Amino acid sequence: MSGSVAGDQATWSHALVNISPYTFSAIGIAVAIGVSVLGAAWGIYITGSSLIGAAIKAPRITSKNLISVIFCEAVAIYGVIVAIILQTKLESVPKSQIYAPESLRAGYAIFASGIIVGFANLVCGLCVGIIGSSCALSDAQNSSLFVKILVIEIFGSALGLFGVIVGIIMSAQASWPSKAG
């Protein structure tokens, strides 16, 4: 029943509670993929421009340093995977149940999952990109540094993975009410 959470009909809480859970879900799915891809692209251009410039004087660095680009790309793939998982969680509910607490809970869970994954991947992509840029420049000067800096990158890319794990756990318990009543 609508409006049962807050008393007065004209408060902000009343307005928020009356936004359809489908809206929240859709925004969550959009943020999951959109912001992840933003992070991945940001990281790739930061790494790529330094890599290209450094490879002019030291062509040997190109093949190894593509790993940095691949780590950034992985961030975008996490976003795609989570967005696909989230959209399979969307179900139709009967009209009377749209504003039931169970429906709201499912909508909020999908929204939160999307935000978690999106922003975790944004900062992860940035982190891996900046490290990748420094890695390319250091490798061009001294090739023994590459593997050591790669370890830092691996820790950085774990951040995106944390976001994906928590996001999937959140979305796993998003269950819509099944029948009227």
Partner 1 sequence: MYGFEALTFNIHGGYLEAIVRGHRASLLTASDYNNLCQCETLDDIKMHLSATEYGPYLQNEPSPLHTTTIVEKCTLKLVDEYKSMLCQATEPLSTFLEYIRYGHMIDNVVLIVTGTLHERDVQELLEKCHPLGMFDSIATLAVAQNMRELYRLVLVDTPLAPYFSECISSEDLDDMNIEIMRNTLYKAYLEDFYRFCQKLGGATAEIMSDLLSFEADRRVVNITINSIGTELTRDDRRKLYSNFGLLYPYGHEELAICEDIDQVRAAMEKYPPYQSIFSKLSYGESQMLDKAFYEEEVKRLCLTFEQQFHYAVFFAYMRLREQEIRNLMWISECVGQNQKSRVHDSVVFIF
Residue of 21, 25, 33, 50 that binds partner 1 (CB under 8 A): 50
Q: Whole-number minimum distance, CB 38 to partner 1, in Å?
A: 12
Give the residue with the Cβ less far from partner 1, 93 or 149.
Answer: 149
Q: Which of 48, 47, 54, 50 is nearest to 140 (CA)?
A: 54
| Among the residue ranges 6-14, 104-112, 137-145, 171-179, the one whose residues contact partner 1 (CB under 8 A) | 137-145
Is 51 among the residues that bind partner 1 (CB under 8 A)?
A: yes
| Backbone φ/ψ region at 3: left (φ over 0), alpha (ψ -120 to 50), beta | left
Give the residue with the Cβ less far from partner 1, 113 or 133.
Answer: 133
Reading the block at residue 167, the tokens are 């996001």
Q: How far is Cα 127 from Cα 125, in angstroms, rounded to an integer?
A: 5
Q: Which residue reads 């959470």 in tokens?
A: 5
Q: Whole-number minimum distance, CB 155 to partner 1, in Å?
A: 17
| Among the residue ranges 13-21, 22-30, 55-63, 167-175, the one whose residues contact partner 1 (CB under 8 A) | 55-63
Give the residue with the Cβ less far from partner 1, 57 or 95.
Answer: 57
Residues 117 and 79: beta-carbon distance below 8 Å: yes
Interacting residues with partner 1 between 70 and 129 (CB under 8 A): 126
Reading the block at residue 135, the tokens are 């890695």
Q: How far is Cα 90 from Cα 175, in angstroms, rounded to an integer?
A: 9
| Among the residue ranges 2-10, 43-51, 98-106, 172-180, the one whose residues contact partner 1 (CB under 8 A) | 43-51
**Exposed (0-12), middle (13-18) or buried (19+): which is 144, by Cβ within 10 Å?**
exposed
Under the rule (CB under 8 A), what is the footprint of partner 1? 42, 45-46, 49-54, 56-58, 126, 130, 133-134, 136-137, 140-141
